[in-house]
Structure 1
Amino acid sequence: MRRAGGQRRYHGPTGLLNSKVYADEKSTDYEYKPDGRLWKRIWAREVSSTRVTTTYGYHETTGDLETVDYSDGTPDVAYTYDRRGRIDTVTQGDDWLIHDLDHDGAASTESEAVSGDILDYALTRTMDPLVGGPVSAVEVEADSSPIYAAAYAYDTETDTARLTRVTGPGLPTGGGSTHGVFYGYASDTDLAGTIEVRADGGGVKLLTTRAYDADRELIDSIENTWDPGGTPVVIAKYDYTNDALGRRSDVVNTGIAFAASAYNRYGYNDRSELTAARRYFGEDPGEWETSDPVDNEHFTYGYDPIGNRTGASRGQEKPVEVLYDGNRLNQYDQTRSDEAVFSTNLTYDDDGNLSGEWLDGDCNCDGNVDVGDINAFNLALSDPEEYAATYPECTLVTADANNDGAVDVLDINPFVDLLLGGGSGGRRLVWDAENRLIGVRPAVEDEDLPDEAVRSEFAYDYLNRRVMKRVYDWDEGEEEWVLVLDRRYVYDGWRVVLELDGLDDNAVLRKYTWGLDLAGLGGAGVPPAIDSAGGIGGLLAVYDTNGTTTGETPEADDLKYVYTYDANGNVGQLVDVAVGSASSSIKAHYEYDPYGGLVASSGTYADTNTYRFSTKPWDDETGLGYWGYRYYDPWLGRWISRDPAADRLPNDEPGYIALAAHQYKAMSNANVNLIDAIGLMSMAPTTCSVSLDSFNSSWGEGSAPGGGKFRHGALRVTPDWWYKPILVEYGPRVFGNCRQEYGPDRPVSRREGTIRNLPPSVCDCIASAPDDLGIYFVLGDNSNTAAKCILARCLREAGQEDRLLEIYPDPRFLPGWDRDCDQINDAWDKHVARERRRHRG
């Protein structure tokens, strides 16, 4: 039986991946140039009766990727390069979006001009040369006017280079040097112990204190205190108990943000999947006999052996049961709830993307349960194969009216009952050639839509970041869709720093200031990791223009709020530190179920703020959370598309096989303990493996001579389940300062540049990395074969091959890079001998 994760088929002579075939016999196929470079990727699904195909074009001399052509209308991508082989411009579509990258020769500044049909701005990053190059300032201009500025300061008195201060939009301002956010660290560690929000001359306005387990780097508590130097008031405190395996067994919530003090108790199965979360009023989780339950916040979950949810319940006195039916692809075909008249049937396209949600009995998948479904039901009953061909959006499950797992005569009477009841609902989801969600609309056709119907559209840049979101309302009288919301997003890495209004000539709506996320707060090494955990827990403040950007004093009604969190980086409150009392300072408050669904929300800014569970933006129109590479559905408790990273893992990669077989499971079904940075993967803790975040962070970010790029950060789940930083490096920048520059500044090939810009001692430097730092080296980018060959050789010679991981989140970068290693190693040996002779002379 074929695995749900897919079976890989390779070309014997070259070892190149030809196809990946799933359990339903659908496949993704690959074709290559004679030199082994990827030429075509062919998805299983079809558009206009043709399989969706991506064609890659390369420069005939350098071999650099020049064009990415899509067959389905997804905007094509074109690249140009500078003489060092670094990406210079990226153009999507017919000038729909253009990224123009400028790399400073001294690597002290990086700028990016973005223009086109939807955006027009310039972003500049300034690096701090005193502490190894982390960002010290981020600035954005539009029409030659500054619209955003944030600054970062570091500890220069020690060799830690830890982040100490952040200033930016939404935080207190002033003319001195005592305002902003200030980080303090626990004694003899890189763990953030305090986060202070200070005003010039006004002292500390808000204090976050993090306490840790004495023997393990586990958070014991997080306390957010108003006016700690005056009359302190606890806004919110999260007090945790961790079991012997490092899992959270309970958490106590106190503070004025909560309607009453309460605590959650958690239970797990032998795979450490969450099986129960029960909430009680009070502050002592040990009071089993006198517990006062919070009725609607009792949850239970059941799973099959591979991690598919089989059932769930909500409520303590009268639990509401939900059942989940899965298929051999680990997709949910149907969900059934005690509360719902209709079951919900789920359909997927041939590439595993959720494509539709339909009501039980909607056999023709038009969004309505009515007499129009009778012929479709009869066809499903008499000829299932013809039914599948006639109604490709549907599945037989839709006709299984009695939910017994079969479509037969026993479904006739239940189907008639569904028809008599009538109903409409469901939705369709649309995906582009990179399996990115680009549209969500009601299942019913336009002519049958009610006035309250809503449709959403999304667009992405070449790094898969969502740069536009549009929402339409249906006008029944005019019979047309009316655009009511048009958001444009400006990014620094994976962090949104500006939210613009496309309905008002891209006027600034909101500005965001970011600091250390969960990886950095847990000690991120040097340089500090600003977004190694995908920004989770790192959003410091929002500046909201409140819809007014013109007039004599447009800033008079602007809003400035600070974010506070629990230990998992879920937003708990937004606080106005400028008001006079703690009770009036809370502008938003959120409480969640274990899988991210909102169970409580209050405050004047609660609906406006979209950053909530896991510090990710949530779309109220769809109920989905946007993680970066994928969307998450809290009702299903999983992703709605396959993992683009796990799909590229080799079959024999230790610790990944089970995960690659299940590409929809989120956070290993343990969201109260684990996080996922940008929607790629969270590794199972039983393997003590690695949770990797951003593989393709930013073309040009951290660029080094020779054309390589590098990425700091990612997360490692250790046996005690705590997140410790690991260093993930790309290209010639293989380990901190293990690289140095040689030779004149002249055009060289990427391979020559890489070899020439590595010192002979690089292998010794790599091998000297302390094991307890958890350093791993990831080879997932085929743009710099020389760097990977040399890195692999260094680790092999040091007997550290277990620190070498091959990850391929991008289909352009598939295995086969090592075919040139013999030639590269020979060139490397000559380079080492030449350099040693030169230094001896």
Structure 2
Amino acid sequence: MPHSPHERTPSLSAYDSRGLVVRQVAYLRSVAGATAEALITRQQRDALGHVVKQWDPRLARPTITSVFNLIAELLETDSVDAGKSRRLPGVTGETLQRWDARNHHWQHTFDNQLRLVSVTQDTGLDKEAYVYADASADAGYNRRGQMVEINDPSGSVKLHSFALTGAALQESRTFHDGLSFSSQQNLSPLGALLKQTDAGGHQRHLAYDVAGQLTQVQLKVNDLLAWQPVLRDARYNATGQTILQRTGNDVSSHWHYRAADGRLLRQYAQKATGESIQDFGYEYDRMGNITRILDGGYAPTYFHNQRVDGHRAFRYDSTYRLIYASGYDEMPPTDNPGLPQPTDPNDRRNYTETYEYDNGDNLVKTTRVRDGANHTFQVHIDPDSNRGVRWKTGDPIPDFPKEFDAAGNQLALPFGPLQWNSRNQLGSVTLARHPTGPHDTEQHRYSQDLRVHKRLETHTPSVSHFRDVRYLPDLEIRTRDNGEELHVIKLDTGAGHVTCLHWVKGKPTRIDQSQMRYILKDHLGSSLKEVDQLARLISEETYYPFGSTSTLAARSLIEVDYKFIRYSGKETDESGLVYYGQRYYAPWLQRWTQPDKAGTVDGLNLYRMTANNPINFIDEQGMMMQPAPATSDQTTIDVGGSTSSSHRSSIAGSEVPSTGTPALVDDPANNPPGKLPPKPGQSWGEWGTQAALTVVNSKVGLALLPVGTSSPANAAVVSTLLTATAQFVLHATLFNPGWSPPNTWNPGGDGAVPPADVTQDANRFFTMSTLGVTTAATVAGMILGPIVGGYVDELRDTKAKADKKAQAGKWLDTVDRLVAEQSLKKEVSMKAVQSLRQKVLDAEELVGISWQSMTILENITRLRPQAPSESNTSSRRSSENSRGSAGSVFHRARATRRAVRKPYVLR
């Protein structure tokens, strides 16, 4: 009997005669000891090997059907979730026309350089137009050939100048209502952001280390004179993982990782006084799934015969879907969407959640057990697709054609309908219906597939109110009908996020002007705590595994109204939907409100959230899941850059001085080089040895001391050097009578010539001294020559080199003889050829490449290798599969269990 749900649950793949996968089998078990259920995914391929039909383990009809033309271009896709879509490609593969499942027809127009010029809906109500600069544009702004204007239903974007990397330096956006905003940025030669001025006039400076990793961020609010530090310092380990960040409020965040695999073990933050603010420890199973999160900063509480310690635990089935979670909350279960409200800390209790899925990976039942308030949430799944709606036992069967449109977009929430535009983007949400007059709605506008405008309108019989949000690069401008105008300045610190709330007018009471909010995140990027400039707690929020709020506390109600970043680091709308960029996520449904626009990149179920493993995976844009960073996001220089304001500006360089690194400035000629790490220090002995080796191995040293030990040349060289040195010393210290006339020897003798015996004695003494010193130096040189030569040989490692040369010569002679013997055979085994070649390469490593080694290698290539047998081919294929299996197991820290065995063909 298996002792674990994961025991004996391999993943199998079946191949056709072409080696293409046609079946995949996963074994599902949720409870140890239960019988594993085989989940079979099938693929049908055409003659060219393209997948034309796919079946999931649940549905009888194909989940997705694809049609290709003769050159392998996709023409039509029919999905049970997203409906049928078609495209007409041009001669170079560009899309000329396309049709979606809602019968919207789009035409794409290109210029003679195949640049997209316009995208037009057949009704003419929705159109995009793109304008490019020609050769007459100002070359000083790098505009020639660049896209300089975009017009779409949200308004227009004009790009005025570009960097050498193609990134926009200055841009302006005009919204549909005529309001216009401009922003600009300065980039380094590598495309890194040095300085940015957003649409509100607020400036940012960023600094990096020599590896391009973010180290400092500073902010200057429009009407303030002083620069304010946002990120004071950041440090990284050798693999680029963040290990320390110190923010502007002197809160230090630390990350510790396991050395064996780099997984996050502990994440904590503390004030400058040492007081802990956050402290999480992580435990994993062998596949890298988090099994426990230990909250070391939580003070245990006791209520209603329960001890709440703050720890969380998780379990997974054999396909790594989350099936159990435990934690604590402060509110009874609710199924009502909308923004969360502060919870009651006096009702804090433990909870457990269990999750059940169908064979199509749809989460169909969530059971939450909480003392005093147990609840079960159910989702009814369409029998012919993966579309699902909230449902409970006893309710009528949902009418799915009325719940979803042909493209799979959900048409209603509990409080009202959802309206989708012709691009399958959420256009408006009805929040409340009124018997008379307009309804409460939230309206959205998009540009380049990202939301750029949101407007909330609420109505009563006597008055109407609105809230307006305009999304600009790193800035949100929020206005209300009461005259309030708020600038939400967004700053990314790599491992964290900071927002500055600056009121231009209409600031509410009991909240600071230009309030800084430093966000402490978990491993998923969710906003857990907000602290102010003095490291005081503003708000605290925790979440259930699939994103609903479990606890929410704030020091004031007015401040919690201005919390915009929540689960997974995303914004939650008034409707309760979480906006991810490409899709909207409904936390209370635990699934997306529309199919994945990227298709089947995350599996055949286009509605499931992160493969039903939200503890270990995230979906940054709502299109493709990825492993949750076991580290905080490392911020490096982005050399690409975006050419549209609809894409958020990437973090890059700065003018702010960084720790240990000169700051980059606007003029590339003035950019100082980065500091290199100091070289390790050398002792005087090591320095002297290195200098001597450099001298004796130079051309002059090799000419003077070509050989060592007994060489006469060494003795002559040493004698010459000693003699020259002795002569130099002698002439520098003794009186030389030959250098001056005798009448100048005695300055006080009035020019009289000394007696003959005096001059003879002086010349005799100097001559004999010279001969004696020269003879002594010559003899010493003859004696010391071999000794010096020995030291030079030892310094050059001459003996070892000679030994290596001799050894290499023996190896090459032996290989040459063996090659001659093997050349007489009809066939030579591949193993023998490889062995001979390796021996030659070993010899070349000892003495370098020589004519002899090159000749032997050429002779080896002329040998007749044995033709590969079927067993060898099979062995190599098995080896390749084994390597693939090992890689798959290693990368299964992401949860698509693909431990591929030997190919097993289903007959």
- Pick closer, same or farther for the CA change 1:242–1:89 going to 2, 3 Å: same
Relative distance call for 1:675 and 1:588 in structure 2 (3 A) is same
Change (3 A) 1:710 1:549: closer
Q: What is the distance in 1 between the residues matched to 2:262 and 2:378?
A: 37
Indicate yes or no: 2:496 matched with 1:545. Answer: no
Residue 280 (structure 1) shift: 6.1
Paired with 2:456 and 2:441, the residues of 1 have a C-alpha distance of: 6
> What is the 5 A alignment of 1:51-450?
51-59=103-111, 61-71=112-122, 75-83=126-134, 84-93=144-153, 96-105=155-164, 110-118=169-177, 119-129=179-189, 132-141=190-199, 147-156=201-210, 160-168=211-219, 179-198=229-248, 205-227=250-272, 231-255=273-297, 261-279=309-327, 295=349, 297-317=351-371, 319-328=374-383, 330-337=385-392, 347-357=403-413, 426-441=415-430, 447=435
Residue matched to 2:525? 569
For the residues of structure 1 that align with 2:221 and 2:297, how far apart are their CA atoms?
24
Deviation track 1:307-361 (CA, whole Å, cap 9, x = no partner) reads: 11121111234531122221256434442348x989987611101111124xxxx
State the shift of 1:568 in Å: 1.6
- What residue is the counterpart of 2:443 in the other structure? 457
Contact 2:320 2:613 in 1 (8 A): yes
- Contact in 1 for aligned 2:432/2:440 (Cα 8 Å): no
Aligned-partner Cα distance in 1 for 2:160–2:295: 46
For the structure 1 residues 343 and 79, does the alpha-carbon distance in structure 2 shift closer, same or farther, using more than 3 Å as the test?
A: same
Q: Say which SS state the counterpart of residue 90 (structure 1) adopts.
A: strand
What secondary structure does 2:417 align onto?
A: strand
Counting matched residue pairs gives: 545
Find the counterpart in structure 1 of residue 69 from structure 2: 11
Determine if contact 2:441/2:458 at 8 Å carries over to the other structure.
yes
TM-aligned CA deviation for residue 17 of structure 1: 2.3
Identity rate, percent: 18
Q: Does the Cα contact within 8 Å between 1:668 and 1:684 map onto a contact in 2?
A: no
- For 1:365-393, what per-residue CA distance to the aligned partner results, in whole angstroms no more than 9, with x for missing partners? xxxxxxxxxxxxxxxxxxxxxxxxxxxxx
Higher RCO by CA contacts (8 Å cutoff, separation 6 or greater):
2
SS at match of 1:298: strand
Corresponding residue number in structure 1 for 2:567: 613
Q: Deviations over 1:255-275 (max 9, x none)?
A: 379976410111111111111
Aligned partner (choices 449, 468, 471) of residue 489 of structure 1 = 471
Aligned residue for 2:608, secondary structure, equals coil
Residue identity opposite 1:247 in structure 2: N
- Give, in whole Å, the separation in 1 of the partners of 2:484 and 2:115: 34
Cα shift readout 1:621-664 (whole Å, capped 9, x = no counterpart): 211000001111111212111111126xxxxxxxx4xx341111
| CA apart distance, 1:112 | 1.5
Q: After TM superposition, list the pairs within 5 Å mapping 1:25-64 onto structure 2.
A: 26-33=83-90, 36-45=93-102, 51-59=103-111, 61-64=112-115
1:646 alignment partner, SS class: coil
1:666 deviates by 1.6
Separation in 2, partners of 1:258, 1:53: 60
Q: Given the two structures, how large is their TM-score scaled by the length of structure 1?
A: 0.59
What is the rounded CA distance, in whole Å, between the counterparts of 2:386 and 2:477 in structure 1? 34
- Judging changes above 3 Å, is the alpha-carbon distance between structure 1 residues 36 and 185 closer, same or farther for their aligned structure 2 residues? closer
Larger Rg: 2
Report how far residue 25 of structure 1 moved.
Answer: 10
> What's the counterpart of residue 452 of structure 2?
467
Conserved? CA contact 2:500–2:514, under 8 Å: no
2:356, 2:364 within 8 Å by CA — same for their partners in 1? yes
Deviations 1:425-447 (A, max 9, x none): 54211111221111111586x53
In the alignment, residue 615 of structure 1 is paired with which amino acid?
A: G
1:720 alignment counterpart: none
The structure-2 alpha-carbon separation of the partners of 1:565 and 1:174, relative to structure 1 and needing over 3 Å to count, comes to farther
3-state secondary structure, aligned to 2:201: strand
Cα contact 1:210–1:219 (8 A) shared by 2? yes
Q: Flag the 1:169–1:324 CA change in 2: closer, same or farther, 3 A.
A: farther
Task: Give 1:75 shift.
Answer: 3.7
1:179 Cα offset (Å): 3.2
Counterpart-to-counterpart distance in 1, 2:431 and 2:459? 10
Task: Give the Cα–Cα distance (whole angstroms) in 2 for the partners of residues 21 and 351 of structure 1.
Answer: 10
Amino acid aligned to 1:447? P
Please state if 1:632 is matched with 2:585.
Answer: yes
CA distance in 1 between partners of 2:150 and 2:317 (Å):
48
Partner of 1:433: helix, strand, or coil?
coil
Q: Name the SS for the 1:664 alignment partner.
A: coil
- Tell me, yes or no, if the aligned pair for 1:563 and 1:573 is still in contact at 8 Å: yes
Cα distance in 2, alignment partners of residues 245 and 636 from structure 1: 28
Report if aligned partners of 1:239, 1:253 keep a CA contact under 8 Å in 2.
yes
User: The residue matched to 2:621 in structure 1 has which SS?
Assistant: coil
AA at the equivalent of 1:217: G
- Equivalent AA in structure 2 for residue 577 of structure 1: Q
1:590: Cα distance to partner? Answer: 0.5
Seen in structure 2, the aligned counterparts of structure 1 residues 710 and 239 have a Cα distance that, compared at 3 Å, is: closer
Deviation at 1:497, TM superposition (A): 2.4
Q: CA–CA distance in 1 between the matches of 2:627 and 2:234?
A: 32
Code of the residue aligned with 2:468 in structure 1: it is D
Quick one: structure 1 residues 128 and 609, their matched pair in 2 at CA, closer, same or farther if it must change by over 3 Å? same
Structure 2 CA distance for partners of 1:623 and 1:71, relative to 1, 3 Å: farther
- Work out whether residues 542 and 560 of structure 1, in 8 Å CA contact, stay in contact via their aligned partners in 2: yes
- The change in CA–CA distance for 1:669 and 1:72 in structure 2 (over 3 A counts) is farther
Taking the aligned partners of 2:644 and 2:311, their CA distance within structure 1 comes to 43
Helix, strand or coil for the counterpart of 2:104? Answer: strand
Partner AA of 2:173 in structure 1 = V
Shift of 1:561: 1.6
CA contact (8 A) 1:170 1:560 kept: no
- Sort the Cα spacing of 1:345 and 1:300 in 2 relative to 1 into closer, same or farther, 3 A: farther
1:710 and 1:167 map into 2 onto residues whose CA distance is 18
Identify the residue that residue 548 of structure 2 maps to in structure 1.
Answer: 597
- Shift in Å at residue 187 of structure 1? 3.9
Counterpart code for 2:314: Y
TM-score by length of 2: 0.55
Which structure is higher in helix share?
A: 2
C-alpha offsets along residues 465-497 of structure 1, whole Å, 9 cap, x if unaligned? 11111112233468xxx3421111112xxxx42
Question: Where does structure 1 lack aligned partners over 5 or more consecutive residues?
Answer: 46-50, 199-203, 282-292, 358-424, 522-537, 648-655, 686-694, 703-708, 714-798, 803-841
**Alpha-carbon distance in 2 for matches of 1:162, 1:640:** 37
For 2:264 and 2:572, locate their aligned partners in 1 and report how far apart those are by CA, in whole Å: 26
